[in-house]
Chains A and B, each alone.
Chain A
Amino acid sequence: MRLRRDWLGALVLLCGCSRPSTPAVPDASPAVEQATAPARPSKAAKPSKLAGARAPAAPETSKDSPKEALKEAPKVDDEELKTEEREANPYSETVNLKLTVTPQVKALVTWGAKQVAHLAPGSMDTEISRPRGSGPVDLEIKAEGFMPYHTRLYADRNDKINVRLYRVEEAPGLLGYKRSLEKNAPPVDKKAPEKKK
């Protein structure tokens, strides 16, 4: 369920850049497309000799038509730009970074060679204080029976993140899992793999 929410969120955000939004200041710029302008009919394209290729596109100007505009309008709710949540003091010397892990299992949180926290059921949070702007904190979370999990906290703001660990058997449901390539590969090692030197 969580996974599905993540995917949906990602899809919405990917489409975010294509959102239509009502212009605050309608401008008499030439970019304003006239509603009365009829859509140009697509010219019959010459059949392509190329394998797998369909007919060439309609003239570029046809995109200007209201019909096309509506057709291409993303099927997501309008999403206005949102300012980031303001910090009480965006120029503080240090920032607090908070990590919360689920499910409730024993887990080790490392930052490079440093051990940041030993998490255990009932105490699945950890906080790190870092100098502001000192670069991101790339963490790795390892827990028995779960795949190693890599995430990042940003030290240019107060940052917090919730992480849900995935069991090895959940791997096929994750983006990037290629069953076909891995069917002959040895099973995923439940222990953390050795670090590359």
Chain B
Amino acid sequence: MVVGCAVSCQGKPATSVKPAASPELPPRSPPVAAAPAAPAVPVPAPALPDDDALLEATGKLGPERRAIQVVAGMERVVDVDVARDKGLTIVDLSDDFAPYIFQDGKAADGAPLPNRYRAVFVGLANDRSDGDGEPLPPGERNYLELYGVPPSLSVMRKRFVEDGARTCESMVDTAKLLAVDSIETWGKTTEKKESAKHHFRGMRLESAQKKQGAATLEELASKDPRYAREVKDHLRTEAERAAFAEVEKRLICEGLLDAGKHKDGFYDSPMRNAALDFQQKNAVFAQADLTRGTLEAMARPILQNDFLALRRVLAERAAHAGRIIEDGSAIEAMPLPKRNKPRQQPTFKNKAGEDVQVPDLVGQATDAVMARLGLATPEDALAFFRRHAESDFRSLRVAVRFPALPEYYGPHMDLVAEIDRGDIWYDFPFNDKGVRMAQPRDRFPSFTLFVKWRGEKVPLANWRTTIGGWRTEVAADGEEYYRYKDSDVGARVWRHIVAAPVWLPPTSAPVGAMVKTKYVAGAYPRVVNYDETGPGYLSAYGLVAGIHEQLRRRGAELAYFDNGIRTHGSFDYLSLRGRFSHGCHRLYNNIAVRLFSFVLGHRKAKVLGPMALGFRRTFYWEGEVYDMRLPTRGFYFQLEPPLPIETLKGKVKGKLKQPITDYVPKPGVKYGDGKPPAASSGPESKAGGGQ
């Protein structure tokens, strides 16, 4: 507590900490949305003259004038104004932080334009409230990093302090964890069957082993090849079981699994939930499946995982503070190399006409923040959080020298976006017998943001996205069919960017899915399910959307036409790995938030504020009437002029070169007589019914 006053009490002697890393930048680690990689612990660089170290502030400074720096191992409070004068960037580490797109705006007459989702976002990041803004039950955690809501620094502090007291490393046998590629899991019924199957196979093999006089199962397999397959399966299951026991230990030790509610050896609901919590806590891209990535994360020391999480949190703060987007991903937009040559780095022309590599600004800025806070190791981070009380994070900021911005930066950058649909298959993916046909893709859809600079299109960032494909849809006759949900091709613009957008379910949406049971003021009534409509991180449009509009001639004038396609964030983070949308282009929520905050920071734009919707739908479900109310469309920004975005056709594979526009019966399903009803071609058929 006393130590924590180092920040809040201006003029207090600086706190001694471990020697700080110099601003020399360590290698970057992956951005938050990237698949978890092996830990990359930045190595402190040798001490260099620290030109950016500011003098400790003297006199009384209000909280808005205070920031911290760690200089030569000592933490000090510095004056924000002095830091800005020296060209340093102030990175907001406060718990009240929300990305730019969630800031309130002002109307032309100066009236405030409240951005209502901001409070919910901050509540979620601080584990204070749920997606509706209602208080979380005691002890509940949100773990929403993969959904685009990184934890606040207070939450990270709690995590470090709690986990710092655990000794899981000594309890878990990492060799057993890493002896398998993954652990197969099943539902309750199948799990029992599989368990029995394994047991009887073991008995069978034991008996065979005795008969053959083999010392081990491996020897049995080599003596009698008929048993080779069974022995292999048996040993793999044994190894998986051994690893499973270590997973249980790790989850219990980490405080995620209540041993009293879990049955040893079974992948029951408490353990499944605990595994999911672990994955979401550590940004492991899986949904309760015990994948290799999960096992690798479990094999890491707990504080090491927390340290990686802290770096991801700080990367988001750094990206927003610097209004930067280059995260090292732009290389993916470069043409594929030939003959095993390395991929060419994206470059831009400087004043002298030389080619300069597009930097990884987010990685460098994150490194700079970590270094300025003296965070080179998990132990440094633990010490940092131990010396700061939770209350410090109400207003904590750090003054950092960010990497110099490339020449193409400016208040109104000539940005253009491009979506490459990659490899496309229009063919129906089932044969006459209902067997799914392989439709391999070498190139997946991707999104690239470019800046036009000195006659070139310079890629700044490139991420995987989604396009439409074959989806099921309920037709007017109430039957379910397949339908190809196409992504529009051609030139469009983003005119409107919507923070916390609302999605309107089409009338064909299953009514039962629009109702859920929810805890409300001491009871569990059924209520309208607003998860998918939003506003919220679970919304079909995610945390933010850019609306694709086409300029068309309409008589003598031009008109914007919205065909229901958006580039938007998505809670469905696994869908970004090769699944299809209903036509929209999804991005990880945090990436979408970063992207549109960047665009608004570097394009002329007007804050329109919360737009009225006034949507209401009354429907019947199981004897009761439900009233869905969506008063707002979301918080709107208008780009002036709009930003061009082009969707490329991609490479069409297969026989059909154009999509089938009508419903196609599902193989094996018996329908009534007559043809399927005509399919709508309106915008609702794109954005409606999904994303």
Interfacial residues, chain A to chain B (CB-CB below 8 A): 3, 6, 9-10, 13-27, 29-35, 43, 45-46, 48, 50-54, 56-61, 63-64, 66, 69-70, 72-74, 81-87, 90-91, 110-114, 133-136, 138, 140, 147-152, 154-157, 159, 161, 163, 165-166, 171, 174-177, 188-189, 193, 195-197
Contacts and interface: CB of A to CB of B under 8 A. Distances in A.
- Secondary structure class of chain A's binding surface, majority of residues: loop
Contact of B615 (A13, A63, A195): A13
B445 to A, nearest CB: 15
Interface string B657-670: 11111111100000
A24 B496 CA distance: 12
Name the 6 nearest CB pairs between A and B, nearest first: A112-B521, A113-B522, A135-B134, A176-B511, A112-B520, A56-B658
Contacts of A149: 624-627
A174 B618 contact: yes
A53 B660 contact: yes
Contacts of B130: 135
Contacts of A35: 553
Given A149-B624, A175-B618, A195-B525, A52 B675 contact: yes
A33 B617 contact: no
B616 A197 contact: no
Given A133-B116, A135-B129, 16 more contacts: A10-B507, A13-B614, A14-B504, A21-B560, A22-B558, A29-B551, A31-B490, A56-B659, A70-B554, A82-B611, A84-B611, A136-B134, A151-B627, A171-B620, A174-B625, A196-B525
Interface string B357-394: 00000000000000000000000000000000000000
B620 A50 contact: no
Contacts of A56: 426, 656-661
B248 interface: no
A10 B617 contact: yes
Contacts of A15: 682-684
Contacts of A90: 112, 114
Contacts of B525: 110, 112, 138, 140, 150, 195-196
Given A60-B488, A166-B625, A14 B560 contact: no
B518 interface: yes
Given A10-B507, A17-B564, A50-B428, A57 B659 contact: yes
B43 interface: no
A64 B490 CA distance: 9
Nearest to B667: A51
Contacts, number: 295
A81 B557 CA distance: 19
A102 to B, nearest CB: 13
B124 interface: no
8 contacts: A24-B640, A25-B640, A29-B642, A69-B561, A112-B521, A135-B135, A136-B132, A174-B625
A27 B655 CA distance: 39
Contact of A52 (B112, B564, B662): B662
Contacts of B564: 17-18
A175 B524 contact: no
Nearest to A81: B611
Interface string B574-590: 00000000000000000
B661 A57 contact: yes
Interface residues of B, number: 108
A30 B491 contact: yes
Contacts of A134: 133-134
B114 A91 contact: yes
Contacts of A91: 112, 114
A57 B338 CA distance: 36
B632 A114 contact: no
Interface string B632-648: 11001000111011100
B133 A135 contact: yes
A81 B551 contact: no
With most chain A CB atoms within 10 A of its CB, the pick from B552, B624, B683 is B552
A97 to B, nearest CB: 12
Contacts of B490: 31, 60-61, 63-64
Given A10-B507, A138-B525, A69 B554 contact: yes
A90 B113 CA distance: 8
Contacts of A196: 517, 524-526
B558 A26 contact: yes
Contacts of A24: 640
A54 B661 contact: yes
A23 B560 CA distance: 6
Interface string B491-533: 1110110000000101100010000011111111111101000
Nearest to B636: A81
Contacts of B39: none
A63 B565 CA distance: 14
B669 to A, nearest CB: 11
Contact of A150 (B561, B614, B624, B642): B624
Contact of B521 (A69, A111, A171): A111
B553 A57 contact: no
Given A31-B492, A149-B625, A18 B524 contact: no
A60 B561 CA distance: 15
A30 B416 CA distance: 11
B1 interface: no
B616 A72 contact: no
B618 A3 contact: yes
B546 interface: no
A162 B545 CA distance: 31
A112 B132 contact: no
